[in-house]
Amino acid sequence: MDFQVVVLAGGTSRDLAPLVSRELPKALLPVAERPVLSYVLDLLEDSNLKDIIVVVEEEDPEVTTRIGSWVSSAYADRLNVEVGVGTAGALRSVAPHLNANDILVVSGDLVTDVPPGAVAATHRRHDAVVTALLCAAPVSGPSETGVSSGKDKAKKPGRYNIVGLDSTRQFLLHVASGSEVEKDIRVQKGMIRAVGQMEIRVDLMDAHLYAFKRVVLQEVLEQRSAFESIQRDVLPYLVRSQLRSEVLGTGAHQEEDGWHSKTSAENILTWMSQHLSSSFSGFQEHLPGSNNPIAVPRTHKCCAYIASKSKYCVRLNSIQAFSDINRDLIGDASHISGYSFSAQNNIIHPSAKHGVKTTIGQNCMIAEGSQLGDKCNVKRSVVGRHCRIGSNVKILNSVVMNHASIEDGCTVQGSVICSNVQLQEGCVLRDCQVGAGYVVSAGSEHRGESLAKK
């Protein structure tokens, strides 16, 4: 498809502490016992997109080396992957090295079964400067810092975005991220005049997979030195400037005309719904069978590809998401992980062992070399490689990473246990995260805590 691909791999994200570290950067976090970055790389490979630059957003050279070494060993004969370093504005660091007509930029923490080729085809069909993948906003458990326990049945959507689409749902007319919707919102009057109808959606997630025209992306990054984020800076800028002559080399800056308010997102949506029927559409001139005149000339087009609700699309950008994705990929979204399930609808490695009267429920994974004692109960959980689990241990809705030790009588519910952790006899953890190598003392009880070495 003559697309170059840039994968933004992240580094040691603070939002994922204490799960990530120099030894285990975000890109290598295990999701169903595979590094999360592998899901994006496999997806690109399946779409025959094999010319890839992986940018590690981290100053620490050890992090870059670890990710580079893993990529080299896993994909040496499969992909043409170059691993580079970039901190703030990571995409800017590799922009001068891009030479294809079109560029795909994707976050390395995206886990999805949406084919990138579908986004690329939409981009080419409309001759757009940018095309963004939008997916149904995922629901998450009630805690942003822990994992919902078995009793927490209620689900709630994440913080929403405001997305404005034309009547065909192909052109992107307005974007505001969830962090902005309670702030001042500016909507262009020119956009209102140009469109007869604008559909406002608050149920869509920016999946951080974009197709760009290379020359436009390079020009924006060069001229807008303060831009650091595609979602927060580049995409909103391109969407806002669709009705101006500011992009594509003209250099003439025009002030936006707009409506400005300090009201809530709900009031903004009410105002827009009352004012979006005032004119004919200038966004229909490229659509088949349209006889509408052009109300306002556009310099470029920004498009959206909206994934079907049946598709899986989640970013690993929080501890809650890490836990949700691990459970999903050994549950309803198991087709993405590629594992084969047993007759009991779980995954138990042939080398794993368990004692008498131990129950391993549906949608569980017990990885290579792990051992469980007698009378254990494991439900909707992932247990990593070479773990040692004692007797009378309960593990519910949790993720246990490699080489962890859980002694007799422990209860682990709605928690993440990192590698080489030791839970001494009889301790109880609910909705906790335990950093690598930490020792939880015998008989202690913890709820909603983050435990890590100083």
- State the pTM of this model: 0.84
User: With bands split at pLDDT 50, 70 and 90, how would you rate the model's confidence at 103?
Assistant: very high
417 vs 420: CA distance, rounded Å? 9
How big is the chain, counted in residues? 454
**Cis status of the peptide bond prior to 115, with omega within 30 of 0:** no
**Domain match, 119 and 221 both:** yes
Residue 128 placed within a domain? yes
Cα separation values, 10 from 1, 39, 201, 352, Å: 26, 15, 29, 33
**Domain match, 305 and 432 both:** no
**Domain match, 308 and 368 both:** no
Mean pLDDT, the chain, integer? 83
What was the pLDDT predicted at 340?
A: 85
**179-183, 198-202, 343-347, 364-368: least confident range:** 179-183
**Domain match, 136 and 242 both:** yes
Q: Is the pLDDT of residue 255 over 80?
A: no
**74-78, 296-300, 392-396: least confident range:** 296-300
Q: Write the single-letter amino acid at 62.
A: E
What was the pLDDT predicted at 286?
A: 39
- Region 344-367 average pLDDT: 95
Q: What letter would DSSP give residue 230? A: I
**118-132, 178-192, 248-262: least confident range:** 248-262
User: With bands split at pLDDT 50, 70 and 90, how would you rate the model's confidence at 179?
Assistant: low
User: With bands split at pLDDT 50, 70 and 90, how would you rate the model's confidence at 184?
Assistant: low
What was the pLDDT predicted at 279?
A: 32
- Region 100-124 average pLDDT: 95
**Domain match, 165 and 87 both:** yes
Domain termination site, one of 255, 279, 314: 314
Check residues 290 and 60 and name the one with the higher pLDDT.
60
**Domain match, 307 and 363 both:** no
Residue 280 placed within a domain? no
Instruction: Give me the number of domains the chain comprises.
Output: 2
- Region 144-164 average pLDDT: 51
The residue among 209, 210, 206, 200 whose CA lies nearest residue 162 is 200
422 vs 327: CA distance, rounded Å? 23
Residue 252 placed within a domain? no
What was the pLDDT predicted at 183?
A: 57
Residue 30 placed within a domain? yes
120 vs 305: CA distance, rounded Å? 9
What was the pLDDT predicted at 359?
A: 97
Residue 344 placed within a domain? yes
Q: What letter would DSSP give residue 308? A: P
Q: Provide the residue range defining the domain that includes 422.
A: 340-451
Check residues 164 and 298 and name the one with the higher pLDDT.
164
- Region 28-49 average pLDDT: 95
CATH at residue 354: 2.160.10.10
396 vs 45: CA distance, rounded Å? 35
**Domain match, 307 and 414 both:** no
Residue 398 placed within a domain? yes
What was the pLDDT predicted at 96?
A: 87
**Domain match, 359 and 308 both:** no
**72-81, 255-264, 388-397: least confident range:** 255-264
**Domain match, 307 and 381 both:** no
Check residues 255 and 212 and name the one with the higher pLDDT.
212
Cα separation values, 102 from 58, 86, 131, 218, 308, Å: 26, 21, 11, 11, 24
CATH at residue 73: 3.90.550.10
Q: Taking the mean position of all CA atoms in its chain, how far away is CA 452?
A: 25
**Domain match, 302 and 404 both:** no
Non-local (6+) Cβ contacts of 155 within 8 A are 139, 140, 141, 142
Percentage of the residues of the chain whose pLDDT score is greater than 70: 77
What was the pLDDT predicted at 268?
A: 45
**Domain match, 54 and 181 both:** yes
- Region 116-135 average pLDDT: 95
**Domain match, 141 and 87 both:** yes
What was the pLDDT predicted at 159?
A: 55
**160-164, 296-300, 341-345: least confident range:** 296-300
What was the pLDDT predicted at 288?
A: 38
Q: Is the pLDDT of residue 145 over 90?
A: no
Check residues 113 and 252 and name the one with the higher pLDDT.
113
* C-beta neighbour count of 254 within 10 angstroms: 12
Residue 359 placed within a domain? yes
User: With bands split at pLDDT 50, 70 and 90, how would you rate the model's confidence at 57?
Assistant: confident
**243-252, 311-320, 372-381: least confident range:** 243-252
Residue 370 placed within a domain? yes
